[in-house]
Structure 1
Amino acid sequence: MRDPYAVLGVTRTASADDIKQAFRRLAKQYHPDVNPGRPDIELKFKEVNGAYSLLSDPDKRARFDRGEIDASGAERPDRSFRRAYAGAGAGRESGSRAGADPFGDDDPFADFFNGARKRYSAGAGSGVKAKGADVSYSVTVPFIEACLGTKRRLTLSTGKTIDINVPAGTRDQTKLRLKGQGLPGLGGAGAGDAIVEIHVDGHPFFTRKDDDIHLDVPVTLQEAVLGAAIKVPTLDGQVAVKVPQAANSGTVLRLKGKGIVNAERKVTGDFYVKLVVMLPEKPDAELAGFIEKWAKTHDYDVRRKLNQPV
């Protein structure tokens, strides 16, 4: 993955608001719904999501800036210490290279680690038993797939490829433990585990709160005044929603059971649609004239409560 700052088109000193604004602009530009049948645009959209997922998290951003993690969120090798098992290395998603030696041929710790390897090899036939080490991996999943559940293919440090289940409702930085998929043990002891940290991309429109999803939906002036039937996106596709007559900005409509399935609690969250009344983008002289004439006989105080003593 490219440098997340370059992906979003911001500098390394960009503020959190600058990063958010850049993400929203690019997400709208590259959203698959706006570019149907364009796999290249879909890849660009995923890249933008991944960059925002990293830079919108203060801890991840700081760690990336310090060089502790790479652009995908995976741990970088520690240059002051190497794993005692040759070729282990932090794993990534299928297609990445695991076990690279950051020192190359000039390794100041070669004697120490070579000794460790010799002791490891000798232990296999000396009756010594020790469970194998755990190995960490990182996988990035789009927001909707994390909400609904999905699968990801992972290449282990051993070269083995497996499919992992990402449960519905998985949150960002959730860690999955895969028993026995780490490094082999000594003297017949069990293998270690694979620890897979799931990173969930942000979404340009949906916001998650517990098991519920919240979405701001723009409506026209006529839809708000007269009422209307509109279509809104949800986790599993578009649904029809009825806008009541005389709806104000801030009116919230609840779609029961359209949120996230919580397997542990055996409940399903809801989907909340908040209406935002929008005037035409360009000034409309006819509308302005009508409102001016209408207001002369239909005055009303919308800030009355703000002026009352608390």
Structure 2
Amino acid sequence: MAGDPYKELGVARGASADEIKKAFRKLAKELHPDKNPGDKVSEERFKRITAAFDLLGDAEKRAKYDRGEIDADGREQYRAPPGGGTGRSGGFGGFGGSGGRGGFEDIDLEELFGAFGGGGRTAGRGGFGGGKGQDVRATLDISLEDSIAGTTRRIQFSDGRMLDVVIPKGASEGQVIRLKGQGAPGRGGQAGDALIELKIAPHPVFKRDGADLTMDLPVSVPDAVLGGKIQVPTPEGAVMMTIPKGSNSGKVLRLKGRGAYVGGKRGDLLAKLAVTLPETPDDELIRFATEWRDKRPYKPGR
């Protein structure tokens, strides 16, 4: 560390153990590399305050340092014996040394660093290595048609990266697609993943009811009375459907396997008939309806 550990933590030499611990916790949360990705200055500063706390957080080491028996790196300070010779150097347990964990024994590192993800306990003896990066999450809006047929969509993250996301055929609302290694970079370890949650946008024609789709289907008076084949829209294009003779508004016709997907299973398309008059008045239809009402009156629903 090669510096004054008291100055590194910003405390006085007479500071209590609680004051030292409080100062370390505050600085560690501010400087943790996972909170400052790619910031080498913050990472180096984090190493220094961690080493300082490893020294001052241990009562025995702190006392030895205050008496001048060890230096800021935890190396023992020996005076050369009479007649020459060299002193011995002991290790320091903060980063790569041989000392113990010292003051970290009563600090919950998981609590302190856990919010940053990826290797919270690497701040102890082991240095900075092996932490997997955090997963990142995003939401991607897709159309109903894309969820059924499958497609590829591009998404942009807040850091400017753009990724192509393959939407599988039969995707469901809320389905999460995992892109391996596309999350936050790790510190010496693998990157996290990108988790993309799919949201299916509302459709102007079809409404979702679980895996089924519902729609209102306008039907002409002649088709409703006489029956016939009419064209019906589906998410994959129009198909022909038979209207039974004498169909009323509200009758529901089912197209099997033309709905949406839930849990890998596809539902049906339910078409609710709506018998519809011509948009412009038709004199012949009016005359027919007048005669019908006079000669053959009836009460619907009775």
Q: TM-score, normalised by structure 2?
A: 0.55
- The answer for the alignment partner of 1:43 in structure 2 is none
2:284 matched residue in structure 1: 286
Contact 2:171 2:261 in 1 (8 A): no
| TM-fit CA distance, 1:85 | 4.0
Question: Corresponding residue for 1:226?
Answer: 226
Question: For each residue in 1:2-31, what CA deviation from the matched residue of structure 2 results, as whole angstroms up to 9, or x when unmatched?
Answer: xxxxxxxxxxxxxxxxxxxxxxxxxxxxxx
| Structure number, greater radius of gyration | 2
CA pair 290-168 structure 1, distance change in 2 beyond 3 A: same
Q: In the alignment, which residue of structure 2 is the partner of 1:201?
A: 201
Which of 28, 46, 70 aligns to 1:119? It is 46
CA 1:155–1:85 in structure 2 vs 1: closer, same or farther (change >3 Å)?
Answer: farther
Runs of 4+ aligned residues of structure 1 deviating over 4 Å after TM superposition are 120-125, 155-161
Look up the match of 2:35: 84
Matched, 1:175 2:176: yes
Q: 1:251 to 1:118 in 2, by over 3 A?
A: farther
CA contact (8 A) 1:168 1:261 kept: no
The structure, 1 or 2, with the larger RCO (C-alpha pairs under 8 Å, 6+ apart) is 1
Q: Matched residues in 2 for 1:117 and 1:141: separation?
A: 44
- Tell whether the 8 Å contact from 1:169 to 1:211 is kept in structure 2 after alignment: no
Q: Aligned pair in 2 of structure 1 residues 261, 197: CA closer, same or farther (>3 Å)?
A: closer
Contact 2:153 2:166 in 1 (8 A): yes
Show the 5 A alignment for 1:29-44.
none
Q: Displacement, 1:138?
A: 3.1
1:254 corresponds in structure 2 to: 254
Distance 1:200 1:211, change over 3 A: same
Structure 1 position 155, deviation (Å): 4.5
1:286, 1:154 → 2: CA distance? Answer: 57
Matched residue SS, 1:296: helix
Contact 2:224 2:246 in 1 (8 A): yes
**Deviation, structure 1 residue 236:** 1.4
Which sections of structure 1, spanning at least 5 residues, go unmatched? 1-82, 88-109, 305-310
Q: Mark the runs of 5 or more structure 2 residues left unpaired by the alignment.
A: 1-33, 49-94, 96-121
How far apart are the structure 1 equivalents of 2:149 and 2:272? 22
Residue aligning to 1:69? none
For residues 201 and 281 of structure 1, the distance between their equivalents in structure 2, rounded to whole angstroms, comes to 31
Q: 1:261–1:268: 8 Å Cα contact kept in structure 2?
A: yes
**Counterparts in 2 of 1:1-310, with a 5 A limit?**
84-86=35-37, 115=42, 119=46, 126-155=127-156, 161-186=162-187, 188-261=188-261, 264=263, 267-304=265-302
1:275 counterpart letter in structure 2: L
Q: When the two structures are superposed, what TM-score results if normalisation uses the length of structure 1?
A: 0.54
Asked if 1 retains the 8 angstrom alpha-carbon contact of 2:36 and 2:42, the reply is no
Q: Number of residue pairs matched?
A: 195
% same residue: 38
In the alignment, is the contact (CA less than 8 A) between 1:224 and 1:243 conserved in 2? yes
- 2 CA distance for matches of 1:292 and 1:208? 41
